[in-house]
Amino acid sequence: MLPIDVIVPRSNPRQWQGVAIERLRADGHDVAVLHQPGSERWPIAANAAFAFEQRLFRRRHPNLGAPLREIQARSASRPAALRLDLAGNAATSEVPTVGLLFDGSRSDLAAATAVAAGRLPVIEAVLDGKTVVGRARPMVDKRESAALGTEDVLARAITLVVSVARAFAEGRLSRGERMPDAPARGEAATTRFASAYLGSALPRLGQEVIRRARFRHAHWRVGYRFTDAPGVAETGRLGSGWSVLPDPSDHFYADPFPFQWQGRSFLFVEDYPHATGKAVISVVAFDAGGVPGQPRVVLEEPHHLSYPQVFERDGVIWMLPEASGSGRLTLYRAEDFPNRWVAETVLVEGEISDATLLEHDGLLWLFATDRDGYGSTSDMLVVFSAPALAGPWKAHPMNPILIDHRLARPGGAFARDKKGRLVLPVQDGTLGYGGGLGLSELFELDQRTVRLSAPRLIDTDGDWPYPKIHTLNRSGRLEVIDGIVAVRKHSGN
């Protein structure tokens, strides 16, 4: 148990600050709450905009950026080992103090202003105002909403605070670069928010309303090719030779995973009917000439299913689909391949997305994202390991490994590039969900360390018509990708 003093504004605290305190206590820390006077008040325009968007998007729970009447002070019964300054203007102290910078500002309003302006802010945890000890690059899922986007950012502020406190307690707090002596406070953000919201956020919101009236919210298409040449993971380029898996306009296919069985090629996909908004898993069988058959549903649950990673191990064929809506990661066994699958066991509890299996140095590993209760499902990488497929699966002590919209979420199975390096396709959310795919090399993986390279974006030049891709896989000669496309409602195009 680490004794922590958490410093919050005496007046105008925010929901995210209260949740951070709850999370620290749930993590086992002895938390005292101290009030700091004179904290910056968010402008009326920001509160009004957030309230408007909460109603527009029919969100009932309080936004993490919403004001609280107060966070009750709680006195300390012991000396603090660490102070967490969530107010942004705490006085200096001999006790190690970690504060947050939102795009270089001590004010959390800077996060809301950046999102309103259409930017993805960076959050830095800074020790004693001098040294960066943690960094987060949150993903914003709904770019058209300043309120929901700010919630995504503040959710990762909470994650970062809890992660830094845990690392401090365990004596593994990393020390990064030194900060300038006087980082910008960003007081002018109170006047900038209204300008950013009226000039950028509100027009984006209007454009999205118009777009959704005419087009499907999202529609993916799967591409495939049979080739003996080096694939995308080896070359870093899409190249040519792609065919589109036909789909009707009333549902789409995405997250393709190929599998070879008894000399035949099969393709498992997320099958998403627009009418239900809940995907199932379907299979496509290819004939000897490489012509795909009609997709057939092979797995359906009460919750959404996607990312159907299929593999063979111990003489059995398995499927590990994403089912984050169920709150667990379930392993399925093929009882009659490819048509019938049965749930075998739950590997991990939580809102786990796109779990990707790897065998490395005598252990099995899972790379995935975890929503962590709030925010995006695409920016927080977690890793688990186990001696066998059935488990027990153990969370890596460094979890979350990173918070980064550029490479946290896997976009396909591990592969080898042309130099023999182990690479992971990763989704790059810089331009939004499905904005692109990169290849990240696995530098180091053991029970103490997980280290990935910055992603190298895939060159989309070639004959694939939908360059916004988010999945890449290959099995034998069959290589598959997917891409997002604009499809009008009530249209076959």
Query: How would DSSP label each residue in 329-355?
Result: EEEEEEEETTTEEEEEEEEEESSEEEE
**Residue with token string 């503040």:** 154
Q: Where are the domains of the chain?
A: 3-213, 218-484
For the sheet containing 264-273, what is the strand order?
A: 251-261, 264-273, 280-285, 296-299
Return d(Cα 105, Cα 161) in angstroms, integer.
Answer: 16
Q: Which positions ≥6 away from 75 have C-beta within 8 Å?
A: 32
What mean pLDDT is reported for the chain?
A: 93
Q: What is the pLDDT of residue 181?
A: 55
Return d(Cα 52, Cα 108) in angstroms, integer.
Answer: 20
SS3 assignment for 103-142: CCECCCHHHHHHHHCCCCCCEEEEECCCEEEEEEECCCCC
pTM of the prediction?
Answer: 0.94
Residue 73 tokens read as 């002070």
Over residues 407-444, the pLDDT tens digits come to 999 999 999 887 889 999 999 999 888 889 999 999 99
Whether a cis peptide bond, with omega within 30° of 0, leads into 246 is no
Return d(Cα 322, Cα 447) in angstroms, integer.
Answer: 24
Of the candidates 93, 136, 112, the residue with the CA atom closest to the CA atom of residue 7: 93
Q: What is the pLDDT of residue 189?
A: 59
Return d(Cα 107, Cα 187) in angstroms, integer.
Answer: 8
Over residues 270-320, the pLDDT tens digits come to 999 999 999 999 999 999 999 999 999 999 999 999 999 999 999 999 999
* CATH superfamily membership of 218-484: Glycosyl hydrolase domain; family 43 (2.115.10.20)
Q: What is the pLDDT of residue 115?
A: 97
Query: What would the mean pLDDT of 201-225 be, rounded to a whole number?
Result: 92
Return d(Cα 272, Cα 250) in angstroms, integer.
Answer: 9
Decide: 102 and 111 in contact? Cβ < 8 Å.
yes
CA of residue 479 relative to chain centroid, distance: 25
Of the candidates 15, 315, 20, 16, the residue with the CA atom closest to the CA atom of residue 6: 20
261 band by pLDDT with thresholds 50, 70 and 90: very high
Query: What would the mean pLDDT of 173-183 be, rounded to a whole number?
Result: 68
Q: Report whether pLDDT(42) > 60.
A: yes
Angle at 87 between CA 83 and CA 88, to 5 degrees: 90
Q: Report whether pLDDT(190) > 80.
A: no
Q: What is the pLDDT of residue 38?
A: 73
Q: What is the pLDDT of residue 303?
A: 97
Q: What is the pLDDT of residue 185?
A: 47
Over residues 111-135, the pLDDT tens digits come to 999 999 999 999 999 999 999 999 9
Q: Report whether pLDDT(400) > 50.
A: yes
Of the candidates 72, 74, 77, the residue with the CA atom closest to the CA atom of residue 3: 77
Buried b or exposed e, range 187-224, using 16+ CB within 10 angstroms: eebbebbbebbeebbbebbeeeeeeeeeebeebbbbbb
Return d(Cα 309, Cα 353) in angstroms, integer.
Answer: 12
Residue 54 tokens read as 């909460």
Q: Report whether pLDDT(493) > 70.
A: no
Task: Identify the H or E element spanning 394.
Answer: strand 394-395
Q: Report whether pLDDT(187) > 70.
A: no
- 420 torsion bin: left (phi>0), alpha (psi -120 to 50), beta (else): left
Return d(Cα 142, Cα 152) in angstroms, integer.
Answer: 9
Over residues 336-353, the pLDDT tens digits come to 999 999 999 999 999 999
Return d(Cα 438, Cα 406) in angstroms, integer.
Answer: 8
CATH code at 3-213? 3.40.50
Residue 401 tokens read as 């490994």
Q: Could you write out the DSSP letters of every residue in 64-116? A: TTSB-S----B--SS--SEEEESSS-PPP-SS-EEEEEETTBS-THHHHHHHH
Buried b or exposed e, range 60-83, using 16+ CB within 10 angstroms: eebbbbbbbeebeeeeeeeebbbb
Return d(Cα 131, Cα 126) in angstroms, integer.
Answer: 5
Decide: 366 and 391 in contact? Cβ < 8 Å.
no
| Farthest CA pair distance, the chain | 75
Query: What would the mean pLDDT of 214-243 be, rounded to a whole number?
Result: 95
Over residues 372-392, the pLDDT tens digits come to 999 999 999 999 999 999 999
Q: What is the pLDDT of residue 74?
A: 93
% residues pLDDT > 90 (the chain): 84
